[in-house]
Amino acid sequence: MEIHKRLAVTLGMSPRRTLVTGGSGFIGTNLVEALLESGREVLNLDLSPPRNPVQSGCHRRIDLLDRSALAKAIEAFQPQEVIHLAARTDYAGKDAHAYAVNTEGTRNLLTALVENAEVQRCLFTSSMMARAVTGPARAPGDLYADSKARAEALVMQASALASPWCIVRPVSIWGPWFAEPFRDYFLAIARGRYRHPGAINPRKQMGYVGNVVFQMLALLDAEPQRIHRRTFYLADDEIVTLQEWTLMIAAALGKPAPGALPDAAIRLAAGLGDLLQLLGWASPPMHSARLRNMRMDSVDYPVAAMREIAPALPYTVAAGVAETVAWLRREALIA
């Protein structure tokens, strides 16, 4: 990235102007850092302040549902690249309106981008959950998945958007600046509170955030015809079992290998979590949906298209674990 920055200075080129919506979140914080390191000029539009205070200088508080304010911010910045991350990603919404930023926010962004001739490349971030709604089986999804599928449809129907664009679907992403559920998972192992959920040992293909950001930058730099109107899944190359990943984390933390809970005990904990959710606790440590996700194989993502653009990723799973543990220590979240 530093090579690109020095080359731009040597050739007298102006840095590329990159707009990021939702750049204060988990992936966004890592992405903004990488964009700045590459020599780009970055504007982060987000209702929340940056998780990393160092990035406060490129943040502007904008609500994507405020069409006028959004259009004015884009007109003033004149971005050449746009990465749309802003979204509500939890599952606690009571109705479709709760996820309006995913749908109407995307619609407002598209309207503003159509009116901006400087834009040369757009990445629209969706979710792997949209596949359940848009795939061949067309299974009904939850409110969050439905909202992401509707946002994808808005992008695909935006015929007036002249610049090359693509949709990206990150899988289960983890790493520095993350929050629940994966930060809680690391912290539970660090504090000796984690127990493996029964005898099942599912296989997982997840995404370390350093690899995901690398893939996003590769999509920004790829030839337009290689990415236009395509959908890319962002994931690691490696497939690990839940136990293998747990042992990697425990070893990096200097902790003994966690034991396992009997199936009956983990089902009881999940049932208790469901009850706590009914009583108002949005995300107890264990509940039925989380248990299903933990015990489910997730290895069938169609990643071949992304491998065409970025065939070699910079991080192994073990390297990602080491960096994440180092970040947890820098943030004083663990000793």
Q: Which pair of structure tokens corresponds to residue 174? A: 């983890």
The beta-strand segments (E) located in the chain are: 17-21, 41-45, 59-60, 81-84, 121-125, 165-170, 173-174, 196-197, 203-204, 207-208, 230-234, 240-241, 260-261
Whether 147 contacts 94, CB under 8 Å: no
What's the average model confidence in pLDDT over 231-237? Answer: 97
Q: Which residue has the higher pLDDT, 117 or 20?
A: 20
Q: Which pair of structure tokens corresponds to residue 21? A: 């919506």
* Torsion sign, CA atoms 47, 289, 260, 317: negative
**Cα–Cα distance measured from residue 63 to residue 3, given in angstroms and rounded to the nearest whole number:** 35
Q: Which pair of structure tokens corresponds to residue 63? A: 């609500």
What's the average model confidence in pLDDT over 155-183? Answer: 93
Span 2-170: which CATH code? 3.40.50.720
- Nearest alpha-carbon partner for 87 in 69, 109, 72: 109
Encoded amino acid at 63, one letter? D
pLDDT tens track for 291-327: 777 777 788 899 999 999 999 999 999 999 999 999 9
pLDDT tens track for 74-127: 999 999 999 999 999 887 788 999 999 999 999 999 999 988 889 999 999 999
pLDDT tens track for 237-272: 999 999 999 999 999 999 999 998 888 887 888 899
| Predicted model pTM | 0.88
**Cα–Cα distance measured from residue 213 to residue 33, given in angstroms and rounded to the nearest whole number:** 10
Q: Output helix, strand, coil percentages for the chain, rounded to the nearest 5.
A: 45, 15, 40
Whether 179 contacts 240, CB under 8 Å: no
Q: Is the pLDDT of residue 177 over 60?
A: yes
Residue 108 makes CB contacts below 8 A (sequence gap 6+) with 64, 65, 67, 70, 71
Strand order of the sheet with strand 165-170?
Answer: 59-60, 41-45, 17-21, 81-84, 121-125, 165-170, 230-234
Question: What pLDDT is attached to residue 230?
Answer: 96
